[in-house]
Amino acid sequence: MERLSVDSIFSQSLESLQDQFALWGEPRWRAGQLMEWIYRKFAGGFDECSNLSKPLRAKLKEKYSFSLAPLVTVTGQEHETRKFLWKLEDGNLVESVLIPAGSEEGGRHTLCVSTQVGCAYGCRFCASGRSGFVRDLTAAEIVGQFLGAEAWHRRQSGAKDDRLLSNIVVMGMGEPLSNYENLMRALSIINAPWGGNLGARKITISTSGLAPQIRRLAGEEPQYRLAISLHAAEDAVRDQIMPVNRKYPLNELLAACEAYQRAKGRMISFEYILIDRLNDTPRQCDLLAGIARRFHAHVNLIPFNKVDGCAFRCPPPDVIQGFFAHLQKRGISVTLRQKKGGDINAACGQLRLRKMGEGELSR
Ligand code: SF4
């Protein structure tokens, strides 16, 4: 649903710009110059594109907007997880989270981007689902989070050529696969050599389990990684925490994952939020190990982060460690995310909810 920024420059492909330039009687290669200003030099507006003529810049201004959502807040410290809150043109707020990518990435970072304002899927452990669905983000608003983070980094560091982001995870507010077209368009721009130039294997799409869209994604050309928000290893438990499971129960979801894996190879991982006395039992651990083994998949364990108004709790440290150790003993590739984000509201959707509570939302 392209509502606000149908003519945003950030949703244009190189090809569409080349066609537009040709219509204006401009050489097609000039479109590449413009893309360089946007995606290499992170220009702040058409007037900074000094190798484009003034008349061309005037035509561009008339046809396309060049406005990034302003930053409302940044929380977190250097070398730790940071959270950005952006204010969209219509006053809605969305979040992105910046996560240090580790020393092997040379100090670069992963950006977790949002794809919707709010979310319709109502997972019970999630802040985004609590205020309901507002709207899909446009492709430009998704690309804008990537550009906004890079622009912020340049302002902070003063470095002109230094890139901040090495990876993108589509795991912020919203169910990415229910905003399929805009997501695919945005990722194709972030992935393109003339655009964000991030390899498809550096881009991970997360889903709560929309089986038909997973099958559709399997047919797309780029080799994006897929992360399944599993959070329970049998229907009886998953039904309690993720309403989507009633529509696409585990057997349907896992069959779609198999189709994805057949098409893409080993590109699937499972996210598993550990919730006290719900999905942290030895039985769930065994079932999870069975699923992970079937897919040769990596499991990312995430201790539950407190969400305002949600009664769930994080399991005690010994239960978390025991769950982790048991998966390791079963030969599963597993990581345990350290609890870093709690104090900056890093559970998805929380910062937005709190700002809404403070009256930041304009409608
Ligand atoms: S976990 Fe994802 S799909 Fe579920 S409510 Fe939150 S944002 Fe929506």
Mean pLDDT of 36-45: 95
pLDDT digits (tens, 9 = 90+) for 56-106: 999 999 999 999 999 999 998 877 889 999 999 999 999 999 998 765 556
Residue-level pLDDT at 266? 76
Tell the burial category of 146 from Cβ atoms under 10 Å away from its Cβ (0-12, 13-18, 19+).
Answer: buried
What is the spatial distance between Cα 99 and Cα 82, in angstroms, rounded to a whole number? 7
pLDDT class of 4 with cuts at 50, 70, 90: very low
Residue-level pLDDT at 344? 40
Hey, which CATH number is domain 9-63, 3.20.20.70, 1.10.150.530, 3.40.50.720, 3.40.50.300? 1.10.150.530
Cβ–ligand 1 distance for 175 under 6 Å, the answer yes
- If one compares 161 and 89, the residue with the highest pLDDT of the two is 89
Residue-level pLDDT at 249? 98
Pocket test for ligand 1, best of 116, 123, 180 (most atoms within 8 A of CB): 123
User: Is the pLDDT assigned to residue 349 strictly greater than 60?
Assistant: no
pLDDT digits (tens, 9 = 90+) for 275-330: 999 999 999 999 999 999 999 999 999 999 888 888 999 999 999 999 999 999 99
User: Is the pLDDT assigned to residue 263 strictly greater than 90?
Assistant: yes
Mean pLDDT of 158-175: 88
Which segments of the chain are extended strands (E)?
A: 71-75, 82-87, 93-100, 109-112, 116-118, 133-136, 165-170, 203-207, 225-229, 268-274, 298-303, 334-336
Question: Which residues, 6+ apart, have CB-to-CB distance to 248 below 8 Å?
Answer: 209, 210, 211, 212, 256
Q: Measured in angstroms, how far is the CA atom of residue 149 from the centroid of ligand 1?
A: 23
Domain ranges of the chain: 9-63, 71-357
Of these residues, 112, 119, 126, 348, which one is catalytic? 348
Q: Which string of b and e fits 235-255 if b means at least 16 CB within 10 Å?
A: eebbeebbbbbeebbbeebbe
Cβ–ligand 1 distance for 170 under 6 Å, the answer no
pLDDT class of 359 with cuts at 50, 70, 90: very low
Sheet of 298-303, strand order: 71-75, 82-87, 93-100, 109-112, 165-170, 203-207, 225-229, 268-274, 298-303, 334-336
Cβ–ligand 1 distance for 152 under 6 Å, the answer no
Mean pLDDT of the chain: 90
pLDDT digits (tens, 9 = 90+) for 209-229: 999 999 999 999 999 999 999
Residue-level pLDDT at 306? 86
Residue located via tokens 């794809």: 115
Is 348 noted as a catalytic residue in this protein?
Answer: yes
User: Is the pLDDT assigned to residue 197 strictly greater than 90?
Assistant: yes
Nearest to 288 by CA among 261, 319, 248, 254: 254
- Going by CA atoms, what residue is nearest to atom 4 of ligand 1? 123
Residue-level pLDDT at 343? 44
Q: How remote is the C-alpha of 60 from its chain's centroid?
A: 29
Nearest to 309 by CA among 355, 354, 277: 354
Is 49 noted as a catalytic residue in this protein?
Answer: no
Cβ–ligand 1 distance for 127 under 6 Å, the answer no
Cβ–ligand 1 distance for 353 under 6 Å, the answer no
- As separate numbers, helices (DSSP H) first and strands (DSSP E) second, the chain gives 12, 12
| The domain made up of 71-357 is a member of CATH 3.90.950.20 | no
Residue-level pLDDT at 358? 54
Backbone phi, psi, residue 274, to 5°: -85, 120
Residue-level pLDDT at 78? 77
Cβ–ligand 1 distance for 173 under 6 Å, the answer yes
Structure tokens at 221: 């050309």
Atom of ligand 1 nearest to the CA of 171: 2
Cβ–ligand 1 distance for 307 under 6 Å, the answer no
Q: Measured in angstroms, how far is the CA atom of residue 207 from the centroid of ligand 1?
A: 8
| pTM metric for this prediction | 0.91
Residue-level pLDDT at 305? 87
pLDDT class of 354 with cuts at 50, 70, 90: low
User: Is the pLDDT assigned to residue 363 strictly greater than 60?
Assistant: no
